[in-house]
Structure 1
Amino acid sequence: MIKQPPITVASRPQGKASRKRNVKKSSSSGRLSSPKGKARPRRKKKKERSWSLPRWTYCLAMGGVAALILIGFYYFFIEPYSYRWKPCYGMKAYGVCLPYGFSIHGFDISHHQGQIDWGELQKLQKAPFPVRFVFMKASEGGDFSDTAFVRNFDEARRHGFVRGAYHFYNPKTDALRQADFFIRSVKLEPGDLPPVLDIEVRGEDERKLRTDLSIWLRRIEQYYKVKPILYTSYKFKTRYLSDSLFNSYPYWIAHYYVDSVEYDGPWRFWQHTDMGKLPGIREKVDLNVFNGSMEELLQLTIPYPDTIQKPQSISEK
């Protein structure tokens, strides 16, 4: 028997099983072999175009944004209060620069000022810049009474101040209800300043606001037999209440951080700062001046009946 030469493994023809193993092996490498044994070509990825500003344009834009921020900060936070940092060429007292040309000073308070030492405040009536009148918050809306009003109102009269009371108006509450609530809260006496209507909120309807305010003012004037004082800011008055009806009431203007009143019409009181410091009051307080003499201030108060002798105030002694 003739022996055939040995056949090596490498020279053996491949069967179906072996070809399948080769295909699996090729797939494990991440790509399948082509029938001809050539690898499939990889697809080229498209290059993404990146868009960028030139460096000078970026710096210019950032500089513009920074400038707008600085201008806005100055307009809203520095310019309205720049008066605080102006040099005082007049008389400085009570922590502020006092308006020039006024001799009768006063202040207004509420429960926000806390406990007040009226004995210390009384000394200011004979100070170089006499403090002689005070307004205090009595009521707000239709049901809120200031918790410090009764005590402060009594103490002010006992220590010789010309006193007055104000009502903070709420446009969302019925005007007549607010007027009657103030009447129940405040018992004014001869020698007191007229009632004050404090209006700072416009509400939703400007026309309705003016109608309601006139209702409040007429009701108060009818009851106390004296024209009420109208308190509001310079801007609020010129925008919403600048007509013959509201101009007929004594005007108490709130206008801060200015050297003089810019309002063209007549006014009686000027609230010129909310940063005042008075002995006997721990918190900062609003300061006011009266546009006139002490005699004219007393003429503005509720008159005494002829049968009652007018008491002499401390400032007149």
Structure 2
Amino acid sequence: MPPTKRNPAVKKPVTRKTNPRKKKPKPFPMQWKVAIAGLLLILLSPLYYGYVLNGFVATWRWIKDWGQDPNYRTYESFNIKIPKKFSVHGIDVSYYQGKIDWPKVKAMKEDEVKVSFAFIKATEGLLQVDPYFQRNWREAPKAGIVCGAYHFFRPKKSGKAQAKFFLQVVNIEKGDLPPVVDIETLDGVSPLRMRLELSDFLTYVEMKTKVRPIIYTGLKFYEDNLEGKLDEYPLWIAHYYQPKLRLDKSKWQFWQHSDKAKINGIGHVVDFNAFNGDSTSLAEMLVK
């Protein structure tokens, strides 16, 4: 049987892969080069970072104060929140604040907030004289700050004797704020006994100076022991970190709303106060 012929295998033509020529990238448009260069200059500029920082700070303040009372805002230089509805502000000081640079205190200002008056501790009880009183009483008025002196009252001691001691130390003159009696504690006596001794102090000081003294106290102490009593005397009330004093505005003249203010010229935190009136009303309170 004759051999069969094999059909030769049909080979597929081999196609060679050709390396296509790489297209040259289009040149970067000049306007883009200029824009990028400008952006780099901005990013590297200290002014840019100052602008960003200011924007960040403003945003943070907005977030922090969001939902807060707009009439009670933070004053950065004083480092406290201050009620905005008052135009006359002041401080009160004692040995606790140390040696004070009063011209620096007077020069400090943020927006319209500045220190216009100061109450200065003079005496306590029957024997204690504040070691910085005479210096503060002399230097603060020189700097142009209106001053008043205060006595820290001890209800266990005779009110009249404390008044005599206070007036031996303090010489109250024309242009001063009225004298102040600071009552914060019962010292173990009854509220009635405290009020009797306090009344003796107030009566004696008013008789000798012809000036009606101011009573200073905390809001809670006032509500518990003094509300409705001795109402003929001007009231200076302490009530901290609040946008509004929880007491009828007709009842008080001064509000100590913070004990953490930072003041130029003073090396320790200070109590900060608002006066319930304008500068004309404050002038009317001064000793004539």
Q: Which TM bucket (shorter chain)?
A: 0.7 to 0.9
Q: Which amino acid aligns with 2:86?
A: F
**Cα shift at 1:127:** 6.0
User: What residue in structure 2 maps to residue 287 of structure 1?
Assistant: 272
Matching residue of 1:211: 196
Decide which of 205, 209, 218 is 1:233's aligned counterpart.
218
Look up the SS of the partner of 1:197 in the other structure. strand
Q: 1:19-73 deviations in whole A, cap 9, x for unaligned?
A: xxxxxxxxxxxxxxxxxxxxxxxxxxxxxxxxxxxxxxxxxxxxxxxxxxxxxxx
Give the match for residue 208 of structure 2. 223
1:65-107 Cα deviation digits (max 9, x unpaired):
xxxxxxxxxxxxxxxxxxxxx7364442211111120010100
8 A Cα contact 2:256 2:272, kept in partner: yes
- Give 1:92's match in structure 2, choosing from 74, 84, 107: 74
TM-score, normalised by the number of residues in structure 2: 0.73
Corresponding residue number in structure 1 for 2:48: none
- Select the structure of larger CA radius of gyration: 1
Task: Give the match's secondary structure for 1:163.
Answer: strand
1:174 CA drift (Å): 1.3
5+ residue gaps, structure 2, are 1-63
| Matched AA of 1:158 | K
C-alpha contact (below 8 Å) 2:118/2:147 kept by paired residues? yes
The 1-side partners of 2:254 and 2:165 are apart by 25
Partner of 2:54: none
- Residues 231-278 of structure 1, C-alpha deviations (whole Å, 9 max, x = no match): 0011111111112x4111100010011110101251100000001000
Q: Is residue 159 from structure 1 mapped to residue 155 from structure 2 by the alignment?
A: no
| Equivalent position SS for 1:298 | helix
Please tell me the residue identity of whatever aligns with 1:116: I
Which residue of the partner structure matches residue 50 of structure 2?
none
Q: In the aligned structure 1, how far is the partner of 2:140 from the partner of 2:160?
A: 28
AA aligned opposite 2:160: L
The question of whether the paired residues in 1 share the 8 Å contact of 2:180 and 2:214 is answered with: yes
What amino acid does structure 1 have at the position aligned with 2:74? K
Deviation at 1:225, TM superposition (A): 0.4
Which amino acid is 2:97 matched to?
Answer: Q
How far apart, CA to CA, are the structure 1 residues paired with 2:218 and 2:81?
20
Question: What stretches of structure 1 of length at least 5 have no aligned partner?
Answer: 1-85, 304-317
Q: Which residue matches 1:61?
A: none
Aligned pair partner of 1:251 in 235, 238, 262: 235
Give the letter for the 2:126 counterpart: G
Give the secondary-structure state (helix, strand or coil) at the position aligned to 1:232.
strand
Q: Distance in 1 between matches of 2:285 and 2:112?
A: 24
Q: Distance in 1 between matches of 2:252 and 2:91?
A: 17
Separation in 2, partners of 1:182, 1:196? 10
Residue 128 of structure 1 deviates from its aligned partner by: 2.5
Question: Aligned equivalents of 1:127 and 1:159: distance in 2?
Answer: 20
Larger strand proportion of the pair? 2
Q: Does the alignment pair 1:273 with 2:258? A: yes
Range that drifts further, 177-186 or 259-268: 259-268
SS of the residue corresponding to residue 192 of structure 1 reads coil
Q: Specify the SS of the correspondent of 2:108.
A: helix
Please tell me the root mean square deviation across aligned C-alpha atoms, in Å. 1.5
C-alpha change, 1:224 and 1:125, in structure 2 (3 Å) is farther
Matches of 2:251 and 2:98, distance apart in 1: 33
Segment drifting more, 118-127 vs 229-238: 118-127
Q: Decide which of 300, 303, 308 is 2:285's aligned counterpart.
A: 300
Counterpart CA distance in 2 for 1:201 and 1:216 is 16
Identity rate, percent: 41
Please state how far the C-alpha of 1:110 moved relative to its aligned partner. Answer: 0.2
Alpha-carbon distance in structure 2 between the residues aligned to 1:252 and 1:278: 21
Structure 2: distance between partners of 1:277 and 1:125: 12
Give the structure 2 partner of residue 141 of structure 1.
125
Question: Does the CA contact (< 8 Å) of 1:162 and 1:191 recur in 2?
Answer: yes
> AA paired with 1:210?
R
The answer to whether the Cα contact below 8 Å between 2:81 and 2:241 also exists between their aligned partners in 1 is no
C-alpha separation in 1, matches of 2:95 and 2:124: 12
Q: TM-score w.r.t. structure 1 length?
A: 0.66
Structure 1 distance, partners of 2:236, 2:177, is 12
User: For this pair of structures, how many residues does the alignment match?
Assistant: 217
Kept in 2, the 8 Å contact 1:273–1:288? The answer is yes
